[in-house]
Amino acid sequence: MMMKTKNNMKHPFLITFLSVFLISLTFSCQKKNKSKDTGSCNSNIICYTGEPDQLYVTLELSPSQNNLPIEVKFYSGSIDKGNLLDAFTTLASSETYIMSVDRTYSATAKYVTDGDTVIVVDSGHLATSYCTDNDTKCYDWDHELTLDLKLKE
Amino acid sequence: MKTNSTQKNDITNNETNNKNKLSRFFFLRKSINFHYLCPKTIITATMKLNKIYFFPARLLFSLILFLIPLKLLAQPIAINPVASSYLQPKFGANLGTLFNHQDLLLDFGLGYEELGYDFSITLNDAFRPFYNRGRVEIGDQLYYQVRHKAVQFSIDLEKRFYFLQFLNYNKLGIYLGLKSAFAWDNYKGFSLIQNDGFAFLPNAGLSWQFSKISRLSVGYLYRYNSVFSNPNMINIKLSLYVNSDDDEN
């Protein structure tokens, strides 16, 4: 009788463990898709079935301290092996580009704060985004990739 | 359409009402007035209180209830923590987390669990499931602020010393462990993968063994090879013995 109770008790632990393991495995092995499915469409939207080949990339910046302009560099690919697309100084809080989709973009922003120089790096993959309306893909032409180049507090 | 000041007044009134209800509930708890033991009042007040303050506590309590067999609450007997039994090898799997206020790693492992001599040798894989943000100094007053993920493989050695035994082989004690870990950091925006190198990470804490089925360990781990975050981490780990042999009980 005791042995039977023990066997019954083993199952919740094993099921919990296997569930957590399989869920983790599923997410860790997720393939990076070209397009991102955002679920069912809102009935109020206009459905654009054509897939955009260019979308927005926005660089978000912290306010400059001491009114010194921030040096910004924008790359296609990674910052160590990618191509430098643009380099400029600015006092604005954001900059926006229209770029080709299905590519990775990186950017750096160089701040001088309290005598220290901090180079903030961020990167992301620009992919199209769509919702589904009766098996029809409705693409979001306002979708954007935001690179957060703000200083950590 | 509401103005901002009206909205603020509404919020303030709601907060005042909530505070009144909560203070009333605390008053009920303190005074033990049976007049107020109306189920509706109690349930409403408890729900509000739970929502605001006690969700983490409820989660922990539920977890403990789920994990700890009731027989653990029986009369314990003191046992010699360095005494050993006969060899009882098991195959074990474990899942856990290493965390502090700056970082979180999930940790999974498989390996050998010895229940007679209370030690284990497991092969573990820990990873950070999200990009963490941190600064690294690359020169004199020059820093990179980056987002990074981490992967860490380790061979974990652990020795347990149980000093209390309950019915059904439930045991309570301490553990001492050593993670011999090799870690990599993956930085967003860089193609390079930073090798953090090899490190011995000491850890220790409390260990509850539930019969010969599972074990819950809660302790401290010093992750000194951490580049960005605080090296002092809390380690919570649940270990499961896959091939429990019933004849031994």
What number of other Cβ atoms are within 10 A of residue B14's Cβ? 10
| Residue recorded with tokens 């990074």 | B148
For B149-204, what is each residue's pLDDT tens digit? 889 999 999 999 999 888 777 889 999 999 999 988 888 888 877 777 788 999 99
Picking from A99-113, B184-198, B203-217, which range would have the lowest pLDDT averaged per residue?
B184-198
Q: Where are the domains of chain A?
A: 51-149
For B103-117, what is each residue's pLDDT tens digit? 889 999 999 999 888
* Homologous superfamily of the A51-149 domain (CATH): Immunoglobulins (2.60.40.10)
Residues of B in contact with A117 (CB under 8 A): 141-143
Whether residues B195 and B81 share a domain: the answer is yes
Nearest to A80 among B134, B142, B191 (CB): B191
Residues of B in contact with A24 (CB under 8 A): 106, 108, 129
Whether residues B185 and B165 share a domain: the answer is yes
Whether residues B148 and B126 share a domain: the answer is yes
Whether residues B63 and B78 share a domain: the answer is no
| Window A:61-80, CB contacts with B under 8 Å | 77-80
Give the end of a domain, one of B67, B82, B100: B67
H or E stretch at A22: helix A2-28
Asked if B190 lies within 8 A of A79 by C-beta distance, the reply is: yes
* Count of domains observed in chain B: 2
For B230-249, what is each residue's pLDDT tens digit? 889 999 999 998 865 554 44
Whether residues B220 and B159 share a domain: the answer is yes
CA A35 to centroid of chain Cα atoms? 13
Residues of B in contact with A29 (CB under 8 A): none
Whether residues B88 and B134 share a domain: the answer is yes
For A18-42, what is each residue's pLDDT tens digit? 666 666 665 554 445 567 788 888 8
Q: Give pTM, 2 decimals.
A: 0.64
Helix (H, G, I), strand (E, B) or coil at B71: helix
Residue in A closest to B145 by C-alpha: A120
CATH classification of the domain holding B161: 2.40.160.20
Q: Mean pLDDT of all residues in chain B?
A: 75
Interface pTM, i.e. ipTM: 0.74
Residues of B in contact with A9 (CB under 8 A): 69, 211, 213
pLDDT at position B206 over 60: yes
DSSP string of A134-145? TTEEEE-TT-EE
Give the end of a domain, one of B67, B86, B117: B67
Give the end of a domain, one of B33, B67, B101: B67
User: What share of chain A has pLDDT > 70, as a percent?
Assistant: 78
| Window A:25-64, CB contacts with B under 8 Å | 27-28
Helix (H, G, I), strand (E, B) or coil at B36: helix
Domain that includes residue B153, residue range:
71-248
Higher pLDDT, A130 or B18: A130
Q: Are the CB atoms for A56 and A144 separated by under 8 Å?
A: yes
Whether residues B159 and B207 share a domain: the answer is yes
Nearest to A17 among B95, B133, B144 (CB): B95
